[in-house]
Amino acid sequence: MPSPETRVGQPLISLRDVHLSFGSNRVLKGIDLDVQRGQAVSIIGPSGSGKSTILRCITGLLPTERGSIRVGDTDVHALKSEAQRIELRKRVGFVFQQYNLFPHLSVLENLVIAPRKVLGETATNAEKHARELLAKVRMEHKADAYPGQLSGGQQQRVAIARALAMRPELILFDEVTSALDPETVGEVLTVIRELTEEGMTCVLVTHEMRFAEDISDVVYFTENGLIVEHGSPEHIFQRPTNERTQTFLRHALGDAGRRPVASGDPFLLSNISRYSLSV
Amino acid sequence: MTDLLELFVQAAAKFGLNYGFLLDAYQRGSLVNGAITTIALCAFTIVGSLLAGLALAAMLTSGRPWFARPARVFIEVTRNTPTLVQLYCAFLVLNMLLTQAVGAANPLTPFAWVVIVISLHKGAFHAEALRAGIEAVPRVTLEAASSLAFSRRQLLWNVQLPLAMRFALPSLINNLIDLVKMTAVASAIAVGDITYASIMIWTQSDNVLELMILLLAFFGLLSFVVNCVGRALEAKLRMPGYGH
């Protein structure tokens, strides 16, 4: 895998001045973002700051209003036809917060259906590849189970394997651990960590600050549809220059956890701010 | 066979029911023909109504006003007027106009009119059930399919319709059971279904109660078969982890 420096001139993903509104709600107000091939890039920031919207724009699930998005040689903002968007999405994997597996298909069928229908792989090859990927995410024993029978963490690992089954150049992770309980978060993060170590280009929207700090090459902090600050994890997490970043991280990185435990009524949810909620 | 019938007639006689007409070859024949006609009506209208429902649901959910609007108007008109009146209108008005226009070449028999009217009438109900199913498919599931580079057509056939079908199935089976019973209106325009055959027999002999029991048992059995097929289909398509 080439080191990020050798390809600095040619990022795999490049967003310039991207704008998007939902009605009168301006969600993105000029986003600039670069991802080099092989990098892991995290986007952090408060809920509703446009993080997930950025990912959806990259893979053409949402149209941009202004600005440019380039993925490899594809100008995403200029894609007109369904066929062009399909070509883009073959190269870009997407993992959702709510897993979004197909509930009427078994785990194996979930992995096989897109390579078979979209890439035209043979049943034998697609299934062989699918079983390898299931082993990679440690879900091979559940190949014949249905999504409804799996825990959240298991479903999310299958969803990652499903994205990998298309042999994508990069994968976008949209708050993939936000719906999971703290115990199962770890099993999903381990899988993502392994992917980044293998050199897969990953863009993560996440509320897992420690994880983002640990695995990212670059971290972006967004608020109100703008990139407030970006840089290396050390820069963002240890020496953030922007005041807003500092406040956000102070709250996100366990400041709330240090609050004294309520001594009064144990049924009073005085420590509710320790739980980060995301929608 | 005739021995069994005789045994049945004798047994029924003990309860004061006179099923003697079953031993008469002519009357038995017209009843059997009526039963076959009813079953054929059911078969044709089940297929016809499902096709009509699918087409209407496709128009409703197309997102294009010039498809959705006419479909909506048709459904409202159809489900808000009685089937029997629709059948009379179709057979006595449309069929007459058609016959005036093309004469003896009119290909539409009373049987065909019943199939058309019931298919369209029940199709309107199927369309609403299917629309409910289509709209119940979570948008994010479709987004996931899009992100896997499915085309619109692949998405429709591999994700949206299989899920919509599962959500709509109980309603569709409900409609189909109703449809089976609805075929009795065919007797109103002298299609020789089992109801019409029964009426013909009881106007000539005094056995209304016996024929009523027979009719109810027959339709009950037919509906039960549809019900069983529906339940089996539901069980087969059940998604583990959903419902119970």
Answer with the residue of higher pLDDT: A275 or A65: A65
Q: What is the number of other CB atoms lying within 10 angstroms of the CB of residue A8? A: 10
Shortest distance between the Cα of A168 and any Cα of chain B, in A, equals 10
pLDDT digits (tens, 9 = 90+) for B195-205: 999 999 999 88
Q: Indicate whether A77 pLDDT > 50.
A: yes
pLDDT digits (tens, 9 = 90+) for B95-138: 999 999 988 888 899 999 999 999 999 999 999 999 999 999 99
Say if A18 falls within a structural domain: yes
Say if A173 falls within a structural domain: yes
pLDDT digits (tens, 9 = 90+) for A170-220: 999 999 988 888 888 888 899 999 999 999 999 999 998 988 998 999 999
On chain B, the residues whose CB falls within 8 A of the CB of A93 are: 147
On chain A, the residues whose CB falls within 8 A of the CB of B141 are: 100, 102-103
Total tally of structural domains belonging to chain A: 1
Shortest distance between the Cα of A86 and any Cα of chain B, in A, equals 5
Q: List, in order of start, the domains of chain B with CATH numbers.
A: 2-237 (1.10.3720.10)
Do the Cβ atoms of B162 and A104 come within 8 Å?
yes
Say if A67 falls within a structural domain: yes
Most distant CA atoms of chain B, gap in Å: 72
Q: Which of A61, A90, A146 sits opposite B241 (nearest CB)?
A: A146
Q: How many CB pairs under 8 A join A and B?
A: 76
Say if A103 falls within a structural domain: yes
Q: Which of B151, B240, B241 sits opposite A82 (nearest CB)?
A: B151
Do the Cβ atoms of A118 and B150 come within 8 Å?
yes
Alpha carbon distance A197, A200 (integer Å)? 7
pLDDT digits (tens, 9 = 90+) for A227-260: 999 999 999 999 889 988 988 888 887 654 444 4
A87 touches B150 (CB < 8 A): no
Q: What is the number of other CB atoms lying within 10 angstroms of the CB of residue A258? A: 7
B113's tokens:
């009119």
pLDDT digits (tens, 9 = 90+) for B1-10: 678 889 999 9
For residue A259, the model assigns a pLDDT of 47
Alpha carbon distance A267, B151 (integer Å)? 52
A41: three-class secondary structure by DSSP: strand
| pLDDT confidence bin for A276, thresholds 50/70/90 | low
Predicted ipTM beyond 0.85: no
Say if A91 falls within a structural domain: yes
Cα→Cα distances A278→A98, A211, A275, B120, Å: 12, 17, 10, 48
Say if A261 falls within a structural domain: no
**What is the phi/psi pair of residue A48, to 5°?**
80, 10
A9 touches chain B (CB under 8 A): no
A90 touches B122 (CB < 8 A): no
Range of the domain at A14: 8-256+268-274
For residue B241, the model assigns a pLDDT of 81
B55's tokens:
């087409």
Chain A interface disruption, residue of B137, B142, B147, B242, most A CBs within 10 A = B147
Q: Which residue's structure tokens are 């170590």?
A: A197
Q: Looking at residue A132, which CATH number applies to its domain?
A: 3.40.50.300
Closest CA to A53 of A29, A70, A75, A34: A29
B26 touches chain A (CB under 8 A): no
Shortest distance between the Cα of B160 and any Cα of chain A, in A, equals 10
Q: Which of A82, A101, A148 sits opposite B242 (nearest CB)?
A: A148
B76's tokens:
């409202």
Shortest distance between the Cα of A106 and any Cα of chain B, in A, equals 9
Say if A279 falls within a structural domain: no
Residues 6+ apart with CB under 8 A from A65: A19, A20, A21
Shortest distance between the Cα of A44 and any Cα of chain B, in A, equals 22
B218 touches B184 (CB < 8 A): no
Q: Which residue in chain B has the smallest CA separation from A89?
A: B149
B143 touches chain A (CB under 8 A): yes
Shortest distance between the Cα of A247 and any Cα of chain B, in A, equals 33
Do the Cβ atoms of A100 and B242 come within 8 Å?
no
A52 touches chain B (CB under 8 A): no
Exposed (0-12), middle (13-18) or buried (19+): which is B195, by Cβ within 10 Å? buried
Q: Indicate whether B38 pLDDT > 60.
A: yes
Closest CA to A223 of A62, A44, A8: A44
Say if A263 falls within a structural domain: no
Q: Which of A148, A162, A166 sits opposite B149 (nearest CB)?
A: A166
A44: three-class secondary structure by DSSP: strand
